[in-house]
Amino acid sequence: MTTSNPQSFERESSWNIDQATFLKALRQRYTFDKVFATLALLAVVFSLFVLAVLLIDVFIDGIGRVNWSFLTSFPSRRPAEAGLVSALVGTVWVMVLVALITFPVGVGAGVFLEEFISDNWFARAIEINISNLAAVPSIIYGLLGLQVFVRVMFPITQGRSILSGALTLSLLVLPIVIIATRESLRAVPGSIRQAGFALGATRWQVVREHVLPLAMPGVLTGVILALSRAIGETAPLITIGALTYIPFLPELSLKGLQSPFTVLPIQIFNWVSRPQADFYSLAAGGIIVLMVVLLLMNATAIYLRNRFQK
């Protein structure tokens, strides 16, 4: 079989399509390719554009408000005098507590599931349970906190207190810490464990001395991501009844844990939902403060992860 035209790849074929038609169609196919690639790029660009517009809009609306007195004043009915010190302090209290609760509990649960129980039905059941919990709407955790921490555990928490809020948010973000812990433990090579066992160490000694230190950057990343989720949560705290007007700071003692509280997102929500436009710029100022804290936390997480991956 020879071709009449050596410059083309054409040959006889049962396909009733000739070379010219094929090439014409091919040009069209490439046009579709370009459109497709452009759409894909546009999707990313659009998402990031929205993010940029959001940040710029908030910045323009709120930067004029962010000053020392805004950070140190209590909320007020008069927009000009209002500040967010009680929300800021409340957020710090709640975040510290959430960190103190989720770190040991989350890491302990992760170590237990990954290192101490083999792949039996119990481990699988807990695993399915955790992945399901991660998808439960946060407001449902608020209802849980309202019943269990605010009402049943009233003698300990004194109701709608910092402690109730922190416990509620801890349960909410615990799955994040457990999953992150398990993933980082899984990334530690098995040979490290075997080397430890070969020296006669118990499983716990091996985990404590060799495995956990190697997994720690990943674990810390998980904890920070969990905290950055918790810091922005509003709905569950509204549900357990965090107040929006707190003209005092909690006492710096164990008693302070039982004090009523507010946090940044709730203060922002309160300002946004007021009908008077004057409060909107306060909300924007609050968002700037919240986003700065959040970005710092995320930057730390990304930094830790990049170091971890090397």
Q: Smallest distance, Å, CB 253 to other proteins?
A: 27
| Residues contacting other proteins: total by CB under 8 A | 104
Q: Tell me which of 71, 129, 192, 213 binds other proteins, using CB under 8 A.
A: 129
Q: Which is nearer to other proteins, 162 or 268 (CB)?
A: 268
Of 44 and 80, nearer to other proteins (C-beta) is 44
Note whether 295 binds other proteins by CB under 8 A.
yes
Which CB, 1 or 252, lies closer to other proteins?
Answer: 1
- CB–CB of 220/107 below 8 Å? no
Q: How far apart are CA 192 and CA 212, in angstroms?
A: 11
Contacts to other proteins from residues 245-274, by CB under 8 A: 265, 268-269, 272-273
- Per CB under 8 A, does 202 bind other proteins? yes
Interface with other proteins, residue 192, by CB under 8 A = no
**Closest separation in Å from C-beta 276 to other proteins:** 13
- Calculate the alpha carbon distances from 86 to 42, 59, 75, 79, 223 in Å: 42, 22, 8, 16, 25
Which is closer to other proteins, CB of 53 or CB of 192? Answer: 53
For tokens 């956990």, the residue is: 212
SS3 per-residue string spanning 71-127: HHCCCCCCHHHCCCHHHHHHHHHHHHHHHHHHHHHHHHHHHHHHHHCCCCHHHHHHH
Which tokens belong to 31?
A: 């046009």
* Contact call for residue 95 and other proteins (CB under 8 A): no
Work out whether 21 is an interface residue with other proteins (CB under 8 A): yes
CA dihedral 259, 263, 266, 272 (to 10 degrees): 130
Among 59, 74, 280, 308, binds other proteins (CB under 8 A): 280
CB of 109 to other proteins, least distance (A): 4
DSSP designation for 284: H
Nearer residue to other proteins within complex by CB, 68 or 158: 158
* Least distance CB 225 / other proteins (angstroms): 8
96/152 with CB nearer other proteins = 152
Residue 117's φ and ψ, nearest 5 degrees, are -110, 135
Given candidates 205, 247, 248, 255, which one binds other proteins under the rule CB under 8 A? 205
- DSSP type of residue 241: T
Per-residue b or e along 172-185, where b marks 16 or more CB atoms closer than 10 Å to that residue's CB: bbbbbbbbbbbbbb
* Residues in region 209-228 near other proteins by CB under 8 A: 228
Interaction between residue 278 and other proteins (CB under 8 A): no
Q: Which of 91, 161, 234, 258 binds other proteins (CB under 8 A)?
A: 234
- Residue 125 amino acid letter: A
- Residues numbered 130-189 forming contacts with other proteins, rule: CB under 8 A: 130-133, 135-144, 146-148, 151, 171, 174-175, 178
Burial class (CB in 10 A: 0-12, 13-18, 19+), 251: exposed
Q: Indicate the residue among 206 and 257 with the shorter CB distance to other proteins.
A: 206
Instruction: Choose the binding region for other proteins from 25-33, 68-76, 92-100, 187-195 (rule: CB under 8 A).
Output: 25-33
234's CB contacts (< 8 A; 6+ apart) are 265, 266, 268, 269
